[in-house]
Amino acid sequence: MTVSLHFTNPPATSNLKNPTHQPLFPTKILTNPSKKVLTPPKITTPPPPLLLPPSQPQPIEPHHEFLPKNPFQKLAASFLDFIETSLLLPLGKDQKLSKTVDPTVQLAGNFAPVHECPVQHGLKVEGHIPTSLRGVYLRNGANPMFSPSGGHHLFDGDGMIHAVTLESNDKASYSCRYTRTSRLVQEAALGRPIFPKPIGELHGHLGLARLALFSARAGTGLVDGSRGVGVANAGLVYFNGRLLAMSEDDLPYHVKMNGDGDLENDRTGKKSRDVEVTLQQPTMIHDFAITENYVILPDHQVVFKLSEMIRGKSPVIHDKNKVSRFGILSKNDMDESNIHWIEVPNCFCFHLCNAWEEDYDNGDKIIVIIGSCMNPPDSIFNDNDDPFQSELSEIRLNLRTGKYSRRVIVEDMNLEVGQVNMQLLGQKTRFIYLAIAEPWPKCSGIAKVDLQTGQVNKFMYGTGRFGGEPFYVPAKESMNTLKDNDDGFIMGFVRDEERVCSELLILKASNMMQVASIRLPARVPYGFHGTFVSAEDLKEQRF
């Protein structure tokens, strides 16, 4: 079995049956409810996908759909290009940038982008690939196609998926491809960045000018924002027979996995119903949690304030006057009227590992949330003098009293991007596997935390070696019985900065010992979230 990546355009969220312990609906977050809510334009049929050869960062021939079509558009294009090249770009070069949006920092070393890589077979395997692992490990990440013309944040890059296929007899192959978002296709066709970067470029008055320039181009039909403006670089989920690439700012994109190397459109995706949840101000929500009966939505202190741009600052800030809270919404609710908000002051959990329900003897219903609480809350977005902390924590919410409790599970260790057995998501779990986020933003190892005993077992990568999110795959015996144990395997990409090589590591979860290392033929930059799709699921893909 060989897997390469094929990309299709949105929408791809399905209205078919939901698997066990998955939310029954997507949730739309609304801000400033007293103001008129604008309905986004209807998503139309996407343009045909564009294959980018691995030796070139962009296609040579223009895509005529995005070229000026009439004299007015040609005049507008020339005028707006003149404004950009003569005013905005020179001002951008003189702009003082913080470390969090400085391209020389954010794109240095193994954070630098790479080209696409077609399928490469016959990878060198040290040790043995467990028989339970037949399928493909995939991990998403930000990989900008074009060099930044201004500021660049780690989250701004175009989505690229890296895939390692694991077969019998210790055979493995590797490929990586961009996800063909509407944004990427348009920029590749024009040969330059057009869409403003949502974090790195939206700083101060120059950020406002970039927004105005983009609005003018969209208003004259030179770019199309109605098909989505996201980069699909954050998460991956195999849902209802489809692998979906996701980011916070757009609908998911369908990624087709097969062995012939082509790209195909999937235009059958349908988005299921929305449940609108009202917030008083735009809030950074990267993650949420589910239990058997509820969806848990964080409303924390990192917010977006346009007024900060007017003052010449970043619009993404830590609002110290806001009180963090969690919203508990029944999966069966058709609207937000019954959502239960519980305040948890000074709490910012960028990633939530799991959540479940418990009942006290007095009949109180408790929601238990396990997540990594970050401090300072805006560490990812702004420079801070305070040291970075990310503490694995337990938060308990009492639905009757509206009270909370919070405790740190593991002290004196920065732990991030935690994973549990995904088959038990929304149920009480014992083991959590996390990246040791030291030295931040790099990760030096993996920690297995036993919530029952408090024991922490670590696997350290070694000097000059760093990785990212670990992903847990249960052994086949546990897959059939849904056992809550550590009888499975952990996998993730590692970069050896001294030997200048990348590999996929596989550990046995029970003893945290390495069982296999697969040498990769290309550099894999540090990235975000991943998943594993079994060989059986690959055969059941929906196209």
Annotated binding-site residues read 286, 351, 529
Tell me 43's DSSP state: P
* Structural tokens at position 127: 């040790």
**Which CA distances in Å does 98 have to 142, 233, 317?**
19, 23, 14
With CA atoms as reference, report the closest residue to 29 among 275, 378, 291: 275
Strands 389-398 and 302-304: unpaired
Torsion over CA of 407, 410, 415 and 420, rounded to 10 degrees? -80
Instruction: Answer for the pair 226, 44: CB distance below 8 angstroms, yes or no.
Output: yes
Strands 235-239 and 242-246: antiparallel
With CA atoms as reference, report the closest residue to 185 among 52, 70, 68: 52
Residue 262 Cα to chain centre, angstroms: 25
Instruction: Answer for the pair 136, 539: CB distance below 8 angstroms, yes or no.
Output: no
Q: Which residues are annotated as a binding site for Fe cation?
A: 286, 351, 529
With CA atoms as reference, report the closest residue to 340 among 393, 277, 280: 277
- Which residues face 140 on adjacent strands? 161
**Which CA distances in Å does 7 have to 114, 225, 322?**
18, 19, 40
Tell me the C-alpha distance between 365 and 352, whole Å: 20
E-assigned strands of 105-166? Answer: 117-120, 125-127, 135-142, 159-166
Place of tokens 């910012």: 348
**Which CA distances in Å does 415 have to 66, 305, 461?**
44, 29, 15
